[in-house]
Amino acid sequence: MLGALNLGACRPKPATPKAEISPSAAEAIFENPPTGSMASLPPAKAALRVNSARAMQYVREVVAIGPRPIGSAGHRKLEAYLRSHLHSDQLEEDGFTAATPVGALPARNFIAKFPGKKEGIIVVAGHYDTIYSLNNYVGANDSGSSTGLLLELASALRGKPREGESVWLVWLDAEEAVRQWTATDSLYGSRHLAEKWQHEGTTKKIKAFLLADMVGDADLNIDRDQNSTPWLLDTVREAATRLGYQSHFFARTITIEDDHLPFARAGVAVADLIDFDYGYNNVFWHTPQDTLDKLSPKSLEIVGNVLLETIHLLDGR
């Protein structure tokens, strides 16, 4: 993605240590669901919670594949990996050809669907490709963190009856520029899917589009993005505050170009949860230093649980 600092709105980062939260009773219940058929489980009345160790394991396995740019062997391996985990989740594959400055490249969005009882759709998305041409780049945070966290969200949602809207998890492809970030050399997957969903009449059913990007940094500071929808950011803040995680959210305001933009242009309420301060002055971003040792399972847990709590709040509105 492309970010621009808004220095006028920029405030110093909080120096306080990370908030700790003890597991709630609901977490204990949903981490250890009663045995028996899923159909006999009571509907989830409290927000679900992620398993941070399992989330980190997904990220580790994704990163172990190596570089995953579009058109690469690593990308094909990751596609197979996603399929193997999501085959029971009403998986839809949205394959298309990206017209890039280096020619036509195959690309593919993955959509896993968790149906709810209410009309409407809540989307949680993240991109899964890595930058196009950089040797030794494994992209632990960009985009291993969002790829793995979405797999953990699928694990948390799977087999649980939903009282609220349907939740669709979307692994977007080809977010990264192939040569240099421009309006036409970037966001290939999200531009394609937003257009397809507009054509199919899906965009008007979407209550909220939540995007996660670069969410694994051990020093987690989610920025407040000015291209996101204010009321949805307020809902995210409310969710973070309910969980005691508010010190990780919105201390700094910046403007981010990311996969939420094509959906925002289609009239969808969007929120990009991104920590665009990865190492001092974002020094690890798009470098071979974007490695697993910079990440923390706690950060995946914070963002994952805030996303699930946000969905829970949206369910009631």
Residues designated as active site: 175, 213
Is the CB of 51 or the CB of 130 nearer to Zn ion?
130
In the complex, the smallest distance separating the C-beta of residue 264 from Zn ion, rounded to whole angstroms, is: 19
Phi-psi region of 139 (alpha: psi -120 to 50; beta: other; left: phi over 0): left
In the complex, the smallest distance separating the C-beta of residue 141 from Zn ion, rounded to whole angstroms, is: 9
Helix (H) or strand (E) holding 30: helix 25-31
Dihedral of CA atoms 250, 165, 25, 295 in degrees, nearest 10, equals: -40
Is the CB of 142 or the CB of 309 nearer to Zn ion?
142
In the complex, the smallest distance separating the C-beta of residue 286 from Zn ion, rounded to whole angstroms, is: 6
Residue nearest to Zn ion (CB): 142
142 binds Zn ion (CB under 5 A): yes
Is the CB of 188 or the CB of 245 nearer to Zn ion?
188
In the chain the first and final C-alpha atoms are separated, in Å, by 31
**Subset of residues 43 to 102 that bind Zn ion, contact rule: CB under 5 A:** none
Tokens 């160790």 locate to: 53
Pairing between strand 162-172 and 103-114? antiparallel
Q: Where are the beta strands (DSSP E) in 218-257?
A: 222-225, 249-257
In the complex, the smallest distance separating the C-beta of residue 274 from Zn ion, rounded to whole angstroms, is: 10
Total residues contacting Zn ion (rule CB under 5 A)?
1
The interface region with Zn ion, picked from 94-102, 135-143, 155-163, 251-259 by CB under 5 A, is 135-143
Contact between residue 211 and residue 288 where contact means Cβ atoms under 8 Å apart: no
Is the CB of 142 or the CB of 275 nearer to Zn ion?
142
Instruction: Give the side-chain half-sphere CA count within 13 A for 75.
Output: 21
Residues at the interface with Zn ion (CB under 5 A): 142
